[in-house]
Chains A and B, each alone.
Chain A
Amino acid sequence: MRALPRGPSSVCLCCVSILGFLICLAGTSAAQPTSGAPSPTTSEQPNPPAQRSCSVWIDAHVVDASTHEPIVGAAVGADGKVVGYTNENGRLRVGPLCAGPVRLEATRGDYPAKGRAITLKRNRAVELELDLSGGETIKIKGRIVAPIDMHSTADVSGEALERTRGRSFSDSLAEVPGVSQLRAANGLAKPIVRGQFGRRLPILVSGMRHRSQEWGLDHAPEIDPFIADKLSVVRGAAGVRYGPDAIGGAVLVEPPTLIDSPGTEGEAHLIGVLAQGGSIAGRLKFSPASHPAFAGQLEASYKRLASPSTPDYALHNTASMERSAGATVGYRLETSEYLLSYRRYEASMGICRCLRVESSDDFFSQLERDRPVDADFYESNLDIDRPYQKVAHDSLLARAKWSLSDWSLTATSNFQYDHRQEFDVVRTATGPQFNFRLTTEDVELHLAHNPLHLNDHLHLKGSAGVVGSAQVHYYNGLPLVPDHKAFGAGVYAMERLVGHDFEVELGVRYDALDRSASIERRDFLRLVRSGQLGEDACSDIEANPVVCDSRYHTASITAGGLYQLSQPWSIKLNLGTASRPPNPDEQYLNGTSPTMPVLGLGKPDLRPETTYSASITSTYQGETFAGEVSAYSNYISDYIYFAPAIGEDGNPIFDVIIRGAFPRFVTRPVDATFFGFDGGLSYNLLPDLQVGGQVSVVRAKNRTDDSFLVFVPSDRLRGSLTYTRESADESEGFHATASGTLVARQNRYDVNADFAPPPNGYFLLGAEVGWTTKLSERQVRVAAQGSNLLSTRYRDYTSLLRYYADQQGAQVMLRLSMDF
C-alpha cells in the first residue's frame, strides 16, 4: 500500500497517547502516528523550525455535532495535510507539532470537512464537531456511520435531493454519473446503472429489498421518492451486501431517521408543474416530552399530472396519479432501539394512446411515421383511460437493534405486498387484463462487531448476517407468467481492515433459492409445443396446474481496497463476483408481451448468470475542485438475454397468431461484457460560481455472437454553471443554475435484436433559480425549474416511447418548500 512516493512530512514522528495525557517519546518507533501520513504536494513548507517548540501534541476528538457520538475513522488534518484517522472513540493524537497557529480539520465519508484554527502553546485536547452532509440534523443516538463503500457510489441528499422533489423516483437519480433511465411509454422510468436495470439492479428501501414486478420493461419502481432522505447509487456488482441479483449494483433509498429529543419538526413541499398539475408532500416528526424514548413520523404525498406534451402534440392518455403515506414509530432504550414502519404507495398511470403493440403489422407500419397517425386529436388532460397501469405497494417493516459493548445485533422483518394491474383497451370487460399479486416476507439478522484494535493504527471491523425470504406470486390475466412460490436463504460475512491511509475489505455470501412455479396446464403444453420445455421437465404433467421446481445455489464474493493518497485524493478498487438465479419470467414467460409486439417465451432450464466485475475509482475532494472518475469492466457469463429466436436457416422466427405474424423472442444464455467509465466534477471558478460536469460511457457486447446488446445507454455528457450567494448564517440565499445535457446517438446496435434503428442524439437545456429566506423563523425555499427549455424534439434510445412518439417538450416546475 505504500508504493507511491510521498512528500516530506512536516510534523515530527513519534509518541504514544494516553487519553488526556501526553507522553512524548520522540524518536521511538513504537508508534508513528504520522509517519505514514501522505502529503498532497511536495512543495509545501514545513512548519517554521527554530525558536518555537516543536513537541506539542493535540488530542483530537471528532464527534457528530448533533449526537456527540464519536466519529470513527475520520481523517484528521493539520494545516491541510492528513495526519491520521480517528479510532473507535473518535480520537487521534496529532503531533508533535510546533507551537503557534495551526488549523485542525476533520472529515469522514459523508461528513464534509470542518476545521478549527487554534494557537498552540502547550499540549491540549481539541474537539471537532462535524455535521452530516447538507447540514441535516441526525439525532438518533448510537447511529453508526456507514463505512465508505468500496464500490463507486454516489449519493443524492440534502439540497440536491430537494431539487428533485416533484419528479419520479428514477428521475431523482438523473444527475448521478453513470445513471440513465429506461423510460416506459407513460413517461415513468426505472434507473439504468452502467447498462444494468430492473432484475439486475435491486432497489433497497431501509436496507431491505423492494419486492415488485421489476422484470417488466415498463414497470417503474413502486416507490415515492419523497420517503427518502438520501438516495445512493452503488455501481458495480454488489452481491455480498445487497443480494445475489445486485449484478449491476444497487439503488439505496434511505428514509429519514426519527428525532431523538422531545419536540416536533417537519417539512412541506408544494410543487406545481405548468399546464400539467403538481404535487404536495409533507412530513412531520415528533417526540413527546412526556415520553422522550418514543419518536414518530408521519408522511404523505400526492401527485397528479396531466399528460405531458411533446413540442408538436400531447401524449394522449399519459396522465398519472401517485400518492403515498407512511407512519413510523420508534422506541429507544439505552442499549436497544425498536422501529415499526408502514408505507403504502399507489399509482395509476395512463399509457400513451400512440402505442401500437396489438399487431406486429401495426407496429412496424407506424415506425415509418414521423408522428402518431391520430396526433391531431391528442390532448393533454387528467383523464386516465385504458390502456393504463394501476399499482399499489404496501410495506411493513419492523426492526430491532441491540447494542452491546463489543457488538450490535439488528433484526429486521419486512412484509411487502405488491399489486400491479394492467388494463388494456377492451370491449366489455371491466377488470384488468394483467393482474399480478406478489407477497414477500424478508427477514434479516445482522451482527456487527465493534472495531477490533489490532494495534494503534490497524482496526478490524466487520459484520455477518443471515437473510431469509418467502414469496408467493399470483397472476391472472392474458397468458404471460406463472404463479410461483419461492423460499430463499442466504448467509454473508464481511471484514474490513482499516489502516492509517488505507482500508481493505473482503466479503463472501452464499444464497440458496427454491422456487416452484405453478403453470396452468394449457400454458405448460404450449411451452412444450413451442419447444421451450421438455415434457419431462416438471413432475406430474397430468396435473393442473403443472408444478415445475427449480433450486439454485449462488455465491458472491467481493474484495475492495481504498487508499488515501493525500487528504483530498483517494483511490478505490473493487473486485466482485455475483450470481443471479433466473427470474420466473425468464424461465416461463409465455405470451405476447404487453410492451412489445413480440411473442415471448422463457427457457425453464436456465442457469444462474454470473458476473465478474472490476472497478477503479479515483476521488478528489479539494476546496475549490472536487471530482470522481470511475472505470469498470463486467464480464457476465450465461447472461440471460431476451432476444429474437433464430431458426435453423439463420433467419428470425415469426409465429403466426391471430393478430398477425409476431417475431418470437426467447430468453437464452449468452456471454456479455459491459465496460466503460463515468465521472463527475465541480470546480469553483469564483467563490460564488461553480461549474460542474458529468460523463457516462457504457460499452456492451454479446460475446457469444459478437453483436451489440439492446437498451444500452448511449454516451452522455452534462455540464452546469451554478451561481450561489448565501448570507453568513445561511438563512438567506439565492442560486441560479443552467445545465446542458448532450446525449449521443447509440451507434452500437444490433438491427436484428431491435425493431427500429436508434434515434438521433440530442441536447437538452435546463435551468433553475431559487431563493431561500426566513419567514417568521421558518426557512422557506422557492424555486423555479425548467427542463428541455428549448423544446427540443427528440426521442431517447432507452425510452419505449421512441417507437411511437417524441419525448416531452419544455416543462416548468415551481417549488415551494418549508421547514418547520
Chain B
Amino acid sequence: MIVMNRLTHPSLLAVASLALLTTGCGEDDHHDHDHDNENEVITTVTLTFTPTGGGTDLVFEFDDPDGDGGEAPTVDTIDLLGADYDVSVSFTNGLVSPPEDITAEIEDENDEHQIFFTGSAVNGPAADNAGAALTHAYADQDGDGNPIGLANTITAAAGTGDLVVTLRHLPPVGDAPAKTSTLADDVKSGGFGAIGGSSDVQVTFPVTVQ
C-alpha cells in the first residue's frame, strides 16, 4: 500500500502569511482510551491443520491476550500424526471486543504480505532441512503469481523440532515492489535479514510428529 503523502502541499504564500497562525488547531479534542483503534495489533496466530485424507481439524494457537509484555503468551505444541494436511493461517486482534480478524486485511493486501514457514522442523521453500518433520508448500498466490502463505500444504513425518511462522509486511520501496518471487529462496539462503519489509508476526511453535 502506498500511503498518500498527507502533508499539506508546500506553499510559500502560506509561509509568508500569518494564516499559518490559525491553521492546525481544531484537531480532534476528544480523548479516548481505546489504544487500538488505529493500531493493527495482532495477539493471536491460529494454524488450522485439515487432514487431506479426512478427519477433524487440528487447531494450534499462539495467543498473547494482553499484548506485548505482561503475561507471557501461551503456545500450543503442534502434535500431529504423519499425514498430509491443508494448513490455513489466521491472525486475530483479541485486544478489541469483539476480536478483530486481521486475516482479511492481509488477503486484501496480499501483494504486500507473505507468510514464511521456517525452523528446524520445516523443509520447504523458505527452509532447507532435508528430512525435517514438516514438508511445507504454498497453496495460494497473489495477483502476481507469488505465494501468500495463508493456505498451505504440509506433509508430516515422524520427527520433532520448531516451526517458526513469520508474517512479513512488504510495502513497496518507492515504485519498486518489495514482494518478489524470490523471497522464500532469499530467506532460505540468508535468513530474514536478506529480505526487505518488516515482520508483523514471528512466532515459534514446538512440533512433534508421531
Contact = CB atoms under 8 A, between A and B. Distances in A.
Contacts of B201: 658-659
Interface string A307-331: 0000000001000010101010000
Interface in A365-391: 365-366, 368-369, 373-374, 377-379, 381, 383-386, 390
A310 to B, nearest CB: 16
A429 B106 contact: no
B196 interface: yes
A366 B193 CA distance: 5
Interface in B188-210: 191-196, 198-204
A361 B199 contact: yes
B135 interface: no
A658 B43 contact: yes
B12 A429 contact: no
A300 interface: yes
B46 to A, nearest CB: 12
Contacts of A300: 15-16, 18, 20
B62 interface: yes
A358 B66 contact: no
Contacts of A394: 24
A392 interface: yes
Interface stretch (A96-104, A472-480, A551-559, A674-682): A472-480
A426 B66 contact: no
Interface in A353-370: 353, 356-359, 361-362, 365-366, 368-369
B33 A373 contact: no
A529 B21 contact: no
Contact of A362 (B67, B71, B72, B198): B198
Contact of B203 (A323, A426, A658): A658
Interface residues on A, range: 35 or more
B105 A428 contact: yes
A282 B199 CA distance: 45
Interface stretch (B34-42, B49-57, B123-131, B148-156): B34-42
B142 interface: no
B3 to A, nearest CB: 5
A601 interface: yes
A394 B105 CA distance: 38
A419 B173 contact: no
Interface in B1-54: 1-3, 5, 7, 10, 12, 14-16, 18, 20-21, 24, 27, 31-35, 37-43, 45
A656 B73 contact: yes
A341 B61 CA distance: 58
A476 B5 contact: no
Interface in B49-102: 62, 64, 66-73, 75, 95, 102
A431 B37 CA distance: 9
Interface residues of B, number: 64
Contact of B39 (A478, A544, A659): A478
B143 interface: no
Contact of B178 (A374, A601, A660): A374
B169 A427 contact: yes
A144 B29 CA distance: 42
A563 B39 CA distance: 60
Contacts of A527: 70
A659 B167 CA distance: 9
Nearest to A591: B68
A588 interface: no
B24 A344 contact: yes
Contacts of B41: 478
A381 B5 CA distance: 12
A378 B176 CA distance: 9
Interface in A592-620: 592, 599, 601
Contacts of A427: 1, 40, 102, 105-106, 108-109, 169
A298 to B, nearest CB: 7
B16 A430 contact: no
B159 to A, nearest CB: 23
Interface of B: 1-3, 5, 7, 10, 12, 14-16, 18, 20-21, 24, 27, 31-35, 37-43, 45, 62, 64, 66-73, 75, 95, 102, 105-106, 108-109, 169, 171, 173-174, 176, 178, 191-196, 198-204
Given A359-B199, A658-B203, 16 more contacts: A302-B10, A316-B174, A323-B15, A358-B199, A365-B191, A373-B196, A425-B169, A477-B38, A479-B35, A529-B70, A529-B71, A530-B70, A601-B69, A658-B45, A658-B62, A662-B68
Task: Identify the 8 closest CB pairs spanning chains A and B, nearest first.
Answer: A526-B70, A365-B193, A358-B198, A374-B196, A359-B199, A302-B15, A431-B38, A377-B176
Interface of A: 280, 282, 298, 300-302, 304, 316, 321, 323, 325, 327, 342, 344, 346, 348, 353, 356-359, 361-362, 365-366, 368-369, 373-374, 377-379, 381, 383-386, 390, 392, 394, 419, 423, 425-433, 435, 437, 474, 476-479, 483, 520, 522, 525-527, 529-530, 544-545, 590-592, 599, 601, 655-660, 662
